[in-house]
Amino acid sequence: MEWKILQLANSNILTQIAARNPRSSGVIAGANGSHNTITIGNIQPLTSITLSGLNGTSNDWDIFGNKNVKKYEVFETTEDILALSVTWHRLRPLISHGISNIMNPSNRPTKLTDEVLFKEMIQEDRDKANVIRDYYSKKLMMFTLKGQQLTSYRKDLNTFIHGDCKVVKEEMMPLVYRLPEFYEYDVGLDEMFLELDTRFEGSQIASSTIKTLNPVKKFTVKRKSRRFVEYWLKDEENKPYKIEIDSNNELMHLWDYFYDKGKFHEITLDTVIKFSNRDSISHYKLIKWKLA
């Protein structure tokens, strides 16, 4: 048995040596030119040969510093990663109001792959993940058919939506985490715009004017760099207007009072407006404004 193991080891190692040195005759040459037959005593672990390139000793294995090669860490899960995100999105308000079963802070999720999300997932989360995926798949297809250039974010979204739902690159995790939130925002806008005139042309030059508007709907928006509230209003021609106010503005509660009251009464503003069009949705943005 020992002899068979030795023969096998000799054969494997000599094959590797021959591949590196075509002139090798099947034996190892010593420093003095003598030929040493391989024995149990001088056999080195195969890993020292196989892995030698990984520590930088061989250019064949050196991918670092090569701009043509990217290294990714991939997460593979037993559940749809978007469904896990939906679960977390559903639990967050419950946790913050103290009505969730996850009362122990040490058990609360901190990342999409936390075990607690797998335990708390329900079928409705999986169903909603499929709805979100279908919504963005159709939306991205519409952009493509219209010949619209996709932003970097939408390209990443397209890659994720049409990829394997259980195998995700690490760099995609922030996008997946925010997707249920973005979905609620986008659907809310879609529903609001159905009741407004969003197909009109306006001047690209900002202009000062006095506008009497009616409040329509407001959204809290979270971005990487800032958090703000979008306030949407409409004029007598049913055209939409948007005001953005940072969430940390100390006077926001005063504006909220007039805005909420304006749902039953008009608001007159002395403002500077600028026409904007995004994804074929025309609207005006209020750059500077004050109550008139």
Residue 7 pLDDT exceeds 70 = no
Rg for the chain (alpha carbons), in Å? Answer: 31
Pairing of strands 74-76, 35-36: unpaired
Asked if residue 233 and residue 180 are part of one domain, the reply reads no
Cα-based distances in Å from 33 to 27, 40, 95:
11, 21, 75
Asked whether residue 282 is assigned to any structural domain, the reply reads yes
Asked if residue 80 and residue 47 are part of one domain, the reply reads no
Asked whether residue 202 is assigned to any structural domain, the reply reads no
As a whole number of angstroms, the distance between CA 43 and CA 31 comes to 17
Residue 17 pLDDT exceeds 50 = no
Asked whether residue 9 is assigned to any structural domain, the reply reads yes
Asked if residue 143 and residue 112 are part of one domain, the reply reads yes
As a whole number of angstroms, the distance between CA 209 and CA 193 comes to 24
Specify the pLDDT at position 101.
66
Domain boundary among 165, 193, 221: 193
Domain boundary among 61, 87, 110: 61
Specify the pLDDT at position 151.
92
- Cross-strand partners of 269: 211, 291
Instruction: Read off the CATH number of the domain in which 225 is found.
Output: 2.40.50
Asked whether residue 70 is assigned to any structural domain, the reply reads no
Identify which of 76, 285, 92 has the alpha carbon closest to the alpha carbon of residue 181. 92
Q: What is the mean pLDDT of residues 22-51?
A: 43
Asked whether residue 234 is assigned to any structural domain, the reply reads yes
The average confidence (pLDDT) of the chain is 82
Tell me how crowded residue 245 is: count the other CB atoms within 10 A of its CB.
16
Q: How many independent structural domains does the chain possess?
A: 3
Asked if residue 79 and residue 18 are part of one domain, the reply reads no
Amino acid identity for residue 194 in this structure? L
- 36 in Cβ contact with 28 (< 8 Å): yes
Residue 292 pLDDT exceeds 60 = yes
- 272 in Cβ contact with 288 (< 8 Å): yes
Asked whether residue 44 is assigned to any structural domain, the reply reads yes
Asked if residue 150 and residue 100 are part of one domain, the reply reads yes
Specify the pLDDT at position 53.
40
- 82 in Cβ contact with 133 (< 8 Å): yes
Asked if residue 86 and residue 182 are part of one domain, the reply reads yes
Range of the domain at 265: 207-291
Sign of the four-CA dihedral 179, 89, 224, 163: negative
| pLDDT band at 164; cut points 50, 70, 90 | very high
